[in-house]
Amino acid sequence: MQLYNKLSAKERAELIEKAGKDRLTLSFYQYAKIDCPQEFRDQLFIVWEKLDVLGRIYVATEGINAQLSLPADRFNDFKAHLDTIDFLKDIRLNIAVEQDNMSFLKLKVKVRNKIVADGLNDDTFDVTNKGVHLSAKEFNDMLANPNTVCVDMRNHYESEIGHFDGAVTPDVDTFRESLDIIEADLKEHKEEKNLLMYCTGGIRCEKASAYYKHKGFKNVFQLEGGIIEYTRQINEEGLENKFIGKNFVFDERRAEKISDDVIARCHQCGSPADIHTNCANDACHLLFIQCDSCKEDMNYCCSENCKEIHALPFEEQKALRKGQANSNDIFKKGRADHLPYKKDLRNIFETLKVDKLKD
């Protein structure tokens, strides 16, 4: 029995186009004890492939983290399947703010050590002893509280294009980095400050809230469902939107517009821009922000060198890549030295120390 995807992204895109059906992009997560992740993974793949589900799903002994798309007319079937799984019954599904039929082009269900890479020894604390979940209205109210420190639990390239008004946005490359930094900078304020956290869909805050409670923080809160659910609630309830810019997402869309503000700039020319590009040179694929003008001038590449390589015939590019690993710049996510307008590095808690801790 086939338990893996065989079609290329191009072939899948052609099938989606030919089918002519609207697809839904959604995400969900759940921390739960899974005794046999591989068996659970295989069962999901068998059912979801029949439902034409596409996406990136991680399964581990600690639970599941899923980002996916499926035909809109199969949603009820998909939900019915989830309800047959005890720990997924009636689970909240985060429906994407902006839909795109091509958001995912393959079905990848992978077994991992953890559903979120955090570098933590989870045996030292209870991941289910989490912080208080807040609705959009409750989040807005707490955000306005002068005794609150709001922290963006995402990475620098995510918060660069959008974040909550007044939030601290750690200049970090990984979730694990931010955990220690936040604890160190707030260690004198564990008793009296409200630690308010948010992320894309809630999964990182779920782990972080349990971690900080374990570390002695008394008032730990998180945005229920993350930015995605917040946006749905403010639209449905007519609440004030406190999020500025776009929400970075990990699929082909790369971002969802939450407000009309453009708070970032093109990493090549410095003009206002908030759309990420992966360098078209297959030996690079650096993620960076590129405006439409630079896309045209640079042919979707991050440097003149990459532009020259990308212009070569495919076989010549392939020969150049033979035996070569991708450049380490791929891990810099917009920090590469050759990008003249990359985000400035700064003391990541500079704003917090000046504006919050002196109150």
256, β-bridge pairs: 247
CB 322 within 8 A of CB 154: no
- Percent of the chain at pLDDT > 90 equals 66
3-state secondary structure (DSSP) of residue 113: coil
Looking at the fold, whether 206 and 351 belong to one and the same domain comes out as yes
- Across residues 287-299, what is the average pLDDT? 96
Residue 169's closest CA among 359, 358, 51, 345?
A: 345
Domain for residue 269, yes or no?
no
- Across residues 187-207, what is the average pLDDT? 92
Q: Taking 50 as the threshold, does the pLDDT of residue 73 lie above it?
A: yes
2: its two tokens: 């086939």
Looking at the fold, whether 193 and 76 belong to one and the same domain comes out as no
Looking at the fold, whether 352 and 222 belong to one and the same domain comes out as yes
Looking at the fold, whether 234 and 349 belong to one and the same domain comes out as yes
CA angle 177, 27, 264 (to 5 degrees): 55
The enclosing domain of 54 has a CATH number of: 3.30.70.100
| pLDDT score at 342 | 85
322: its two tokens: 């033979």
Looking at the fold, whether 202 and 351 belong to one and the same domain comes out as yes
CB 125 within 8 A of CB 216: no
Element (H, E) at 296: helix 292-298
CB 68 within 8 A of CB 57: yes
* Number of domains into which the chain is organized: 3
Residue 9's closest CA among 62, 56, 63?
A: 56
Residue 254 half-sphere exposure toward CB, CA atoms < 13 A: 12
- Across residues 274-301, what is the average pLDDT? 94
- Across residues 77-96, what is the average pLDDT? 95
Domain for residue 337, yes or no?
no
The enclosing domain of 196 has a CATH number of: 3.40.250.10
Q: What is the mean pLDDT of the chain?
A: 89
Domain for residue 49, yes or no?
yes
| pLDDT score at 354 | 37
pLDDT tens by residue, 100-128: 899 999 999 999 998 987 777 777 788 88
- Positions marked active-site: 199
Looking at the fold, whether 310 and 169 belong to one and the same domain comes out as no
Question: How are strands ordered across the β-sheet holding 63-71?
Answer: 94-95, 23-31, 63-71, 54-60, 107-111
Looking at the fold, whether 32 and 127 belong to one and the same domain comes out as no
Domain for residue 43, yes or no?
yes
| pLDDT score at 351 | 45
| pLDDT score at 235 | 95
| pLDDT score at 313 | 92
pLDDT tens by residue, 154-184: 999 999 999 999 999 998 888 888 898 899 9
- Across residues 7-36, what is the average pLDDT? 90
Looking at the fold, whether 127 and 104 belong to one and the same domain comes out as no
pLDDT tens by residue, 304-316: 999 999 999 988 8
Looking at the fold, whether 25 and 128 belong to one and the same domain comes out as no
Residue 150's closest CA among 161, 165, 160?
A: 165
> Which structural domain range is residue 24 located in?
9-111
Task: Kindly indicate the confidence band of residue 353, based on its pLDDT and cuts at 50, 70 and 90.
Answer: very low
For 9-13, 93-97, 167-171, 353-357, which range has the lowest pLDDT when averaged over its residues?
A: 353-357
Domain for residue 159, yes or no?
yes
CA pair distance 207, 130, nearest whole angstrom: 7
Looking at the fold, whether 39 and 165 belong to one and the same domain comes out as no
pLDDT tens by residue, 200-218: 998 999 999 999 999 999 9
For 4-8, 266-270, 302-306, which range has the lowest pLDDT when averaged over its residues?
A: 4-8
Domain for residue 338, yes or no?
no
C-alpha 233 chain-centroid distance: 19
Q: Taking 80 as the threshold, does the pLDDT of residue 329 lie above it?
A: no
DSSP 212-236: HHHTT-S-EEEETTHHHHHHHHHHH
CA angle 108, 159, 331 (to 5 degrees): 55
Domain for residue 25, yes or no?
yes
Looking at the fold, whether 230 and 351 belong to one and the same domain comes out as yes
Q: Taking 50 as the threshold, does the pLDDT of residue 232 lie above it?
A: yes
Domain for residue 336, yes or no?
no
Q: What is the CA radius of gyration of the chain?
A: 21
- Across residues 255-262, what is the average pLDDT? 95
CB 44 within 8 A of CB 28: no
Looking at the fold, whether 68 and 176 belong to one and the same domain comes out as no
CB 194 within 8 A of CB 148: yes
Q: Taking 60 as the threshold, does the pLDDT of residue 134 lie above it?
A: yes
